[in-house]
Structure 1
Amino acid sequence: MAAPRPQKHLLLPLLVSLLLAASSPRGADAWGKEGHIMTCKIAERYLSEDAKAAVQELLPASAGGELSTMCPWADTMRFRYHWASPLHYANTPNVCNFKSSRDCHNNKHVQKMCVVGAINNYTAQLLTYGDSPKSSWNLTESLMFLAHFVGDVHQPLHVAFEEDEGGNAIQVHWYRRKANLHHVWDVSIIDTVMKDFYNKDLDTMVNALHMNLTNGWSDDISHWENCENKRATCANDYAIESIGLSCHYAYKDVEQNITLGDDYYFTRYPVVEKRLAQGGIRLAMILNRIFDKKEADTTMPLYVQ
């Protein structure tokens, strides 16, 4: 599919830059395939009927009507859509705070070329769904990008230090296996949790996260879904959360070639599980706001399926 086409009167600066930007050398994966699928499976349980119908209409036939099947898509397309590489993350100048005006750019300093800008941009595109005349954006791709990038911004090391490329340049051992710190947070912690607690079954882990959402985390959901920006998102806030978690959990007590074992694992995997759940809740909230037109100007509730 071709890159998204600009719509008359909605030529956002970010999309102009998408066509001009060079790719970044940094790896683009965030969460592994399983993490992205889990985030979207959680989101699917909280969609309104109108949002669910719109999502199913926009999904390609290959998705089988399930958003979660397409949530890893943006990682599979990174070598085809080189311009999208910087949209998977944001760098800070090795400080534990995120400022969009300072940090949301690509390696050529084109502004809004980061995960926060991408979430806001694809939300704006999807808000044209149902317009007459029909939107000229490729809204199928907009949906798949948005779902992926909401997952990305919740992986702490996707809002991290420029110097070490979000942990990609920090070599470690995850127990006996060589890895880099970024991969540990993308894949290794999730794989180990699935093996230790969920019989290596993704759906079992999703059900457990859902149980936490309806029980242990139920008091937190109203805070997670709180977003006063009615026409865009609170992606900036999610990035601020992630850089804080990067500093307090991902980077803490880590140095080159260290072996990360039980002490690190048992204090970090609860952070990973909560970020997967938060990503799912917030993706559902964004999609409900976009597609449930009757609630467009009010606080958008979640709908438990």
Structure 2
Amino acid sequence: MGVSGLLWTVRVLVLLQLVTGILGWGKEGHYVICKIAEGYLTAGALAAVKELLPESAQGDLANVCSWPDEIRFHYHWSSALHYVDTPDFRCNYEYCRDCHDSAGRKDRCVTGAIYNYTYQLSSAYPNSNSFSDYNLTEALMFLSHFIGDVHQPLHVGFLGDLGGNTIQVRWYRRKSNLHHVWDTMIIESALKTFYSSDLATMIQAIQNNITENWSNQEPLWEHCGRNQTVCPNPYASESVSLACKFAYRNATPGSTLEDDYFLSRLPVVEKRLAQAGIRLAATLNRIFASQIEIAQA
């Protein structure tokens, strides 16, 4: 292989690493979010979700919540929809300023995608002339995934480091980047350290926190102002604020992140998983409640 061929290969490998890094909480995180959401769906919303799920889900939304990550190499256009970049060190998010892809095309970001797929489901389910215009099964899976993504603080991180993807760190002894730490490694370490590597035990612990420690906050998490069906902009604002306060802090390039970082950031991660699950359920409840009422009328 010549020098030019070697350089091309290196560039492709780097690009693949970055693309992989921007696309999700990781399979475990998305499973947790959708499993929590299932427990808060109304009977009508649950029936609608089960009707739209693909056969591969076996009636369980959590089984397909990672689907948008799995098809990213087939649906190349969807890569920009998993995140939104914000100006470096501003620590704030503005839809009009920030929601665009790398080519500057407006509305192509995670919050724009959430609005889009909410509209598709709201306008086309269950009895509408526009039903055939959209793939509602895909809309459901994309929406469920992206509501999860917008709650990961570094999915609303800084443009200059691609949401922490270019910040190389060590997670204990393992080489990684900061974005990957927040997508998967904090959750993986928590599973091994506190939950006997059992995801169901972790989910139950988060659900217990929702009903016991966060019960007074849950109605606020569910609420959307001005009678909106979905409201991802506040979620994105929360995420970039948490990115500045917790994700980026004490995580400079080349640093080693160990117990101090892990134990102080895990509560943030678990609460974001809980908020995402509650808000996903609330959004689906609003979508399908309004559509069922229309159908009955």
Taking structure 2 as the reference length, what is the TM-score of the superposition?
0.89
Matched, 1:93 2:87: yes
1:190 match: 187
Structure showing greater Rg:
2
Quote the Cα distance in structure 2 between the aligned partners of 1:250 and 1:152: 15
1:78 match: 72
2:151 match: 154
CA contact (8 A) 1:126 1:143 kept: yes
Matched, 1:67 2:64: no
Quote the Cα distance in structure 2 between the aligned partners of 1:84 and 1:172: 28
CA contact (8 A) 2:22 2:179 kept: no
1:117 match: 112
Alpha-carbon deviation of 1:228?
A: 1.5
Quote the Cα distance in structure 2 between the aligned partners of 1:96 and 1:114: 17
1:249 match: 246
1:225 match: 222
Q: Secondary structure at the match of 2:204?
A: helix
CA contact (8 A) 1:50 1:291 kept: yes
Q: 1:57 to 1:42 in 2, by over 3 A?
A: same
Matched, 1:209 2:206: yes
Higher helix content, 1 or 2:
2
Quote the Cα distance in structure 2 between the aligned partners of 1:213 and 1:232: 22
1:166 match: 163
Query: 1:260 is aligned with what amino acid?
Result: L
Q: 1:126 to 1:229 in 2, by over 3 A?
A: farther
Query: 1:266 is aligned with what amino acid?
Result: L
Matched, 1:37 2:44: no
How many residues align structurally? 274
Deviations 1:250-290 (A, max 9, x none): 00111111000111111100000000000000000000000
1:18 match: none
1:135 match: 131
CA contact (8 A) 1:194 1:200 kept: yes
Aligned-residue Cα RMSD (Å) equals: 1.6
CA contact (8 A) 2:229 2:286 kept: no
Alpha-carbon deviation of 1:130?
A: 1.1
**Identity rate, percent:** 55
Quote the Cα distance in structure 2 between the aligned partners of 1:296 and 1:208: 35
- Farther off after superposition, 230-239 or 163-172: 230-239
Alpha-carbon deviation of 1:113?
A: 0.3
Deviations 1:149-206 (A, max 9, x none): 0000000000010000000000000011100000000000000111111110111110
Gaps of 5+ in 1: 1-24, 298-305
Q: Secondary structure at the match of 1:186?
A: helix
Deviations 1:24-52 (A, max 9, x none): x6443221100000000000000000000
Query: 1:135 is aligned with what amino acid?
Result: F
Query: 2:118 is aligned with what amino acid?
Result: T
Quote the Cα distance in structure 2 between the aligned partners of 1:257 and 1:202: 31
Alpha-carbon deviation of 1:231?
A: 4.2
2:196 match: 199
CA contact (8 A) 1:289 1:296 kept: no
Quote the Cα distance in structure 2 between the aligned partners of 1:229 and 1:81: 34
Alpha-carbon deviation of 1:66?
A: 0.2
Quote the Cα distance in structure 2 between the aligned partners of 1:266 and 1:78: 32
CA contact (8 A) 1:289 1:295 kept: no
Quote the Cα distance in structure 1 between the aligned partners of 2:214 and 2:77: 37
